[in-house]
């Protein structure tokens, strides 16, 4: 498998038709992502991987609606999908022929508050993708070895700035340092003096790519955390426990109860960003936290566009494997609804774009990470449009994160256009190639020149 095969065209274009005929946003959401009692997007697959094996599984009964497979209704579903694509083409043709204000969206230049750009020659391959759409990004420190001091972050920052300057001379990398059991109060003080380090990233040891240096016990870093709170630095947390006895789909919920709640109680002035949330548990916890300005969360495009079915759509799909892992549909809906809900100011854009070479993903032990920087804003527009909340996108992408980090909002603008665009199959990546999110697929939003 070399691409993610999320079949978007039929559902998105049907959604647009429903909106033009005054159907409700909730109906369009059901069309786009599959309502709980309808067949899910996994059931529309007709990949060769599925076709080779579906006869062995056709009559399997599955009690969990979120894990239904294409094999249940192979002939009917394949036929329906082909008819649907012809209809989708007609819908798009009619909708794109008229010029409407709804077809353009201009917002303040956004920030990406969670970005991986790797190191070496890979930096120059991936940084321009982000710099085309964003004026600022918070760079993650999980290199090998990790970025642990302000001095190391300064060196890394210069490389990133150099890689961005031809694409966007205004692009500004902000840095976060890797929190380890050995992080001292002196290191925290140096970080606060730098002017470009915004906080420290807490990776539980073994939680994700290059996390072996991570914190083994939060109690070991309490002096550093208290110094961070005193100096106004922010703690970014990868919110999962890593005990092998805990189911991978439950690790975020357990982290909230076992680590994050006690930490927020223990260090009263510490401000925390729960990174790349994936569950209703996390969305509710952040939304209902009693203190404003202390707790926020970033949200990735994959966790509001896909549920866990996408991992197994017609076979194993390594290019949508990420950590935290994709969750059930009810969690995807809850995270997206939080981003547009009554406490939406607590949620902001953080792509967690994490490129890996194609071969490292398509291997016996594939790396975790989704590369989405090539069209990040386009993907968020798809998600917000699916629930009729494009008016909330600017705050999510351009205001909320800057406000939480207490930096000025960007001054420029960027315009999105409702225009079909086909994502390339691969991009160059430091002498190799990376397979992007929605590779080879047509998506309904592009960035206007």
Active-site positions? Answer: 352
User: Torsion angle, CA of 331/351/437/37, rounded to 10 degrees?
Assistant: 10
Closest CA to 136 of 399, 425, 422: 399
CA distance 199 to 374: 26
**Phi, psi (deg, nearest 5) at residue 3:** -140, 160
Ramachandran category for residue 435: left, alpha or beta (phi over 0 → left; psi -120 to 50 → alpha): beta
Q: Are strands 295-299 and 347-349 parallel, antiparallel or unpaired?
A: parallel
Token readout for 345 is 């100011």
Instruction: Give the Å distances, CA to CA, from 294 to 91, 169, 265, 267, 268.
Output: 45, 32, 11, 11, 9
Sheet strands (E) in 134-270: 136-139, 172-178, 197-202, 234-237
CA distance 271 to 292: 10
Token readout for 97 is 């022929």
The total number of residues written for the chain in this structure:
449
Closest CA to 76 of 58, 101, 103, 92: 58
**Phi, psi (deg, nearest 5) at residue 300:** -90, 160
User: Torsion angle, CA of 122/125/131/137, rounded to 10 degrees?
Assistant: -20
**Phi, psi (deg, nearest 5) at residue 342:** -70, -20
Instruction: Give the Å distances, CA to CA, from 125 to 39, 352, 432, 438.
Output: 39, 17, 10, 19
CA distance 19 to 8: 16
Burial class (CB in 10 A: 0-12, 13-18, 19+), 374: buried
């Amino acid at each position: 498998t070399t691409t993610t095969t999320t079949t978007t065209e039929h559902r998105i274009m049907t959604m647009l038709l429903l909106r033009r005929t005054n159907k409700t946003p909730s109906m369009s959401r059901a069309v786009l992502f599959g309502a709980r009692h309808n067949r899910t997007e996994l059931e529309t697959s007709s990949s060769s991987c599925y076709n080779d094996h579906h006869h062995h599984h056709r009559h399997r009964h599955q009690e969990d609606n979120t894990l239904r497979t294409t094999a249940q209704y192979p002939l009917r579903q394949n036929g329906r999908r082909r008819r649907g694509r012809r209809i989708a083409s007609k819908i798009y043709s009619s909708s794109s022929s008229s010029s409407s204000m709804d077809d353009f969206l201009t917002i303040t230049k956004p920030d990406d508050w969670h970005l991986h750009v790797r190191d070496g020659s890979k930096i120059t391959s991936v940084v321009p993708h982000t710099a085309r759409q964003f004026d600022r990004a918070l760079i993650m420190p999980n290199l090998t070895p990790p970025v642990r001091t302000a001095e190391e972050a300064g060196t890394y920052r210069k490389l990133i700035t150099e890689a961005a300057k031809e694409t966007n001379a205004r692009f500004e990398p902000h840095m976060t340092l890797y929190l380890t059991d050995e992080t001292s109060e002196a290191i925290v003080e140096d970080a606060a003096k730098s002017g470009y380090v915004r906080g420290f990233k807490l990776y539980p040891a073994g939680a994700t790519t290059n996390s072996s240096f991570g914190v083994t016990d939060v109690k070991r870093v309490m002096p550093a955390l208290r110094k961070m709170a005193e100096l106004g630095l922010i703690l970014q947390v990868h919110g999962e426990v890593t005990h092998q006895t805990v189911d991978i789909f439950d690790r975020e919920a357990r982290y909230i109860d076992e680590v994050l709640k006690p930490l927020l109680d223990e260090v009263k002035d510490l401000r925390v960003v729960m990174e790349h949330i994936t569950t209703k548990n996390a969305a509710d916890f952040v939304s209902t936290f009693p203190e404003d300005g202390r707790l926020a969360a970033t949200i990735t495009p994959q966790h509001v566009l896909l549920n866990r079915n996408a991992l197994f759509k017609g076979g194993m799909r390594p290019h949508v494997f990420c950590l935290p892992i994709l969750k059930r549909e009810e969690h995807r809906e809850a995270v997206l609804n939080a981003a547009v809900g009554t406490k939406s100011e607590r949620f902001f854009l953080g792509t967690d774009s994490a490129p890996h070479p194609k071969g490292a993903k398509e291997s016996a032990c594939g790396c975790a990470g989704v590369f989405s920087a090539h069209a990040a804003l386009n993907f968020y527009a798809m998600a917000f449009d699916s629930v009729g909340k494009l008016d909330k996108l600017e705050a999510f992408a351009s205001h909320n994160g800057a406000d939480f980090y207490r930096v000025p909002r960007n001054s420029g603008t960027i315009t999105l256009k409702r225009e079909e665009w086909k994502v390339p199959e691969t991009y160059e990546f430091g002498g190799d190639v990376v397979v992007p999110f929605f590779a080879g697929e047509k998506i309904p939003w592009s960035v206007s020149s």
